[in-house]
Chains A and B, each alone.
Chain A
Amino acid sequence: MAVDAGAPMRLAPGAETARPKVEVRNLAISYDGTPALVGVNLEIYENEIFGIIGPANSGKTSFLKALNRMDMFNAAMQVSGEINFDGRDIRQWRNVYALRGRIGVVFPLPVGLPMTVYDNVALSPRLSGQTNKAELNDIVERCLRRAALWDEVKDRLNSLGSLLSGGQQQRLTIARALSQEPDLLMLDEFSIAVDPVTTMRIEDVLKELRNEMTIILVTNLTQQARRLADRTAFFLTGSCVEIGETEALFTGQVEDSRTADYIAGRFG
């Protein structure tokens, strides 16, 4: 099921010269011995949007968790294989908190922390020791603007973040992720609880952000991957079936018929 290690991989234009931001070799993840993902090999290049599509239970979220070393917080989760971030094995990062700080994460259901809108966005800078009020104001405004939320919340920065609407909360979590000034932004099915208009606004935000950072976009909307991703990987029941340029995959240039079937909506 897994992609042969030796199979030629299609790369983004100019990818041969770009260095991989994330390099995954023989990644396998299991929970209490039950495999969730097996034999994943892929590279994610700087400033690309890398889409991951696939039905439920295909291992997409586990993949993101492994990248962020969340296995540290879950005794049942075992990760083997190698993940290099900026050319260094993430297991070798002595300061795993700094690694996580460089990776922003947006969850499927918006997790507005039970504090004010302002504090939600200021949390990450505060965690890393920023106490200067003016500096924090700056960061909060900048991140909320970039997440296309500023105009809606600028008058109620001091109200509870969890009182915002679902779509606003999701943009709040994006602003919070941006406040980390990440090099890598991972979005896990961010549009699942968001209306179509907000989804489009967030997609526009992502298109701009790709100039500054690498983005991994896990999505169950195949058309969203087509709209945004440069390259897309198809995960199915715990393995990576195929990786290719998004346009190629969506125009039928696939190596595995299951990819075509999934994209065409014949299953999944």
Chain B
Amino acid sequence: MFATTELNVRNSRRQALVQILFMLMTAVLILPVLIILATLIHKGGPAISFEFLFSEPTNGMTAGGIFPALVGTVWLVAVALLVSVPLGVAAAIYLSEFAPQNWFTRIINLAIINLAGVPSIVHALFGVGAFVLFFGFGTSILAASLTLAIMTLPVVIVATRESLQAVPLAFREACWNMGATRWQTIRRVVLPNAVSGILTGVILEVARTTGEPAPIMFTGAAFFLPFLPESVFDQTMALSLHLFVISTQVPGVPDELPYGVALVLIAMVLVMNPLSIAFRMYLRGKKKW
């Protein structure tokens, strides 16, 4: 009765095959990441020094450091986050918790998905038209960050909406039954359980805003500007554009310089991961989970 049949053998073979196949695919996926990281560390590592990080570029950007670009990127990302996170989270809460399921909501959802599909250079042109010219912010951190914020809003909205919808309906119903309003339920039960998903969205956003040169090159990022910005109305250098410039526009840049900039760029994004884990742990500690 428990003898192995032909079918058993076939099924277990198939299962082994599938497992190996998928493992290989995962390996193929990780491989490029490892190669990129290894190359950057190997070629760019020697360029990294305290001086590289904290001094200005010199000799027509063929020597010196990246400090203004580093600070500029932090400004751009910070201002973009300040705009897009509250906006995106609020929109996602509305769409997930309040919006009636009708044609209007569906159109909004469609628009968000389409916004995510717009190429970054188109966002750049929109940013020039809207923020630089129409609102008169000029080429400035503000205009560039707003452009970045618009570009990354769909990421925040979709990530937040998905994580809100992952909170079981039973939790909401239990809370409503106690006499809680929708907002009380969101505030006390739904949001605390969606925080990690929202943070994932924020990390994705940071990664994109840090790395994209296109949306900022016409709206606020400068080719060469060895001063630190003093307000959001100043222009600034940015790492992503700086990398583009020194690897394609300036002759005679030593090899390790662009690799060093790329390494710093990736490190900035990677640093966000432990930061968000720490933030989550802090929230949990506060809630005594």
Contacts and interface: CB of A to CB of B under 8 A. Distances in A.
Interface of A: 68, 70, 73, 75, 97-105, 107, 109, 111, 113-116, 119, 123-124, 126-128, 158, 160, 173, 176-177, 180
Interface stretch (B13-21, B148-156, B171-179, B217-225): B171-179
B170 A116 contact: no
Contacts of A98: 179
B289 A111 contact: no
Contact of A113 (B101, B175, B176, B184): B175
Given A70-B173, A123-B188, A101 B179 contact: yes
Nearest to A128: B179
Interface size class of B (residues with CB under 8 A): 20 to 34
B245 to A, nearest CB: 49
Given A123-B188, A127-B188, A160-B289, A70 B174 contact: no
Nearest to A102: B179
Chain B binding surface, main DSSP class: helix
20 contacts: A70-B173, A70-B176, A70-B177, A97-B181, A100-B178, A101-B178, A101-B179, A102-B179, A105-B174, A111-B171, A113-B189, A114-B171, A119-B287, A123-B175, A126-B188, A127-B179, A127-B180, A128-B179, A173-B174, A180-B179
Interface in B143-191: 170-181, 184, 188-189
A3 B184 CA distance: 41
A74 to B, nearest CB: 10
A114 B289 CA distance: 8
Nearest to B167: A114
A160 B192 CA distance: 14
Interface of B: 100-101, 170-181, 184, 188-189, 192-193, 287-289
Nearest to B184: A127
A45 to B, nearest CB: 23
Contacts of A70: 173, 176-177
A116 B288 contact: yes
Contacts of A177: 178
B174 A113 contact: yes
A126 B185 CA distance: 12
Central interface residue in A98, A101, A123, by most chain B CB within 10 Å: A123
A115 B287 contact: yes
